[in-house]
Amino acid sequence: MESNITQLSPVEYELDIRAERDTIDIRINGQLKKLRPSVQMNGFRPGKVPMGLVKRLHGRAVAYEVVDELIQEVYKAEVLDSPDHDVLGSPTVTKIEYEPDGELHALVQFGVRPSVQLMDLANEKVTRLTHEVTDDEVNQELEKLRSKIATYESQDSPAGEDDFVRVDLLQLDSQSDTPVVGSRQDGVVFHLGSDELDESVKDALLGARPGDQARFSIFHEGYDRDHRYEATIIDVQKRTLPEMDDEFASAATKGRTDTLDALKAEINDRLKDQWDRVLRDQLEGEVVRRMVDAHDFEIPPSVVELYLDSQIDDIARRSDGKLPEGFDVEYFREQNRPEAERTARWMLIRDQIITQHGITVESEDLDTAFGDTGDGDQSSGKSMRAVFEKNYPEMIDQMERRIENQKVLDWLLSQFQVEDEVWSDNAGAQ
**How confident is the model over 236-269, as pLDDT tens digits?**
999 999 999 999 999 999 999 999 999 999 999 9
For 151-240, give the CATH class: alpha beta
Q: Give me the phi and psi of 409, to 5 degrees please.
A: -65, -40
Average pLDDT over residues 119-144: 94
> For the segment 328-371, what is each residue's pLDDT rounded down to a tens digit?
999 999 999 999 999 999 999 999 999 999 999 998 888 888 87
Provide the pLDDT for residue 424.
Answer: 81
pLDDT band at 226 (very low <50, low <70, confident <90, very high): confident
The CATH class for the domain spanning 2-112 reads alpha beta
Please give the pLDDT value at position 376. 52
Q: What is the pLDDT of residue 224?
A: 61
pLDDT at 162 over 70: yes
Express each pLDDT in 173-193 by its tens digit.
988 889 999 999 999 999 999
* pLDDT single digits (tens) 361-375: 998 888 888 877 655
Residue 299 above 70 pLDDT?
Answer: yes
Which of 64, 57, 70 has the alpha carbon at shortest distance from 98?
A: 64
Q: CB neighbours of 170 closer than 8 A, spacing ≥ 6?
A: 179, 180, 183, 184, 185, 229, 230, 231, 232
At residue 146, the pLDDT reads: 94
Residues 285-300 have a mean pLDDT of 95
- In this structure, of 90-94, 184-188, 334-338, 389-393, the range with the lowest mean pLDDT score is 389-393
pLDDT for position 427 = 54
* pLDDT tens figures, 55-84: 888 989 999 999 999 999 999 999 999 999
Of the candidates 363, 369, 398, the residue with the CA atom closest to the CA atom of residue 381: 369
- Mean pLDDT over the full length of the chain: 91
Tell me, what's the pLDDT at 377? Answer: 55
Task: Report yes or no: 174 and 240 within 8 Å, Cβ to Cβ.
Answer: no
Could you give the C-alpha distances from 390 to 366, 370, 385, in angstroms and in order?
15, 14, 9
Per DSSP bridges, beta strands 185-191 and 164-172 are: antiparallel
Q: Is the pLDDT of residue 8 over 70?
A: yes
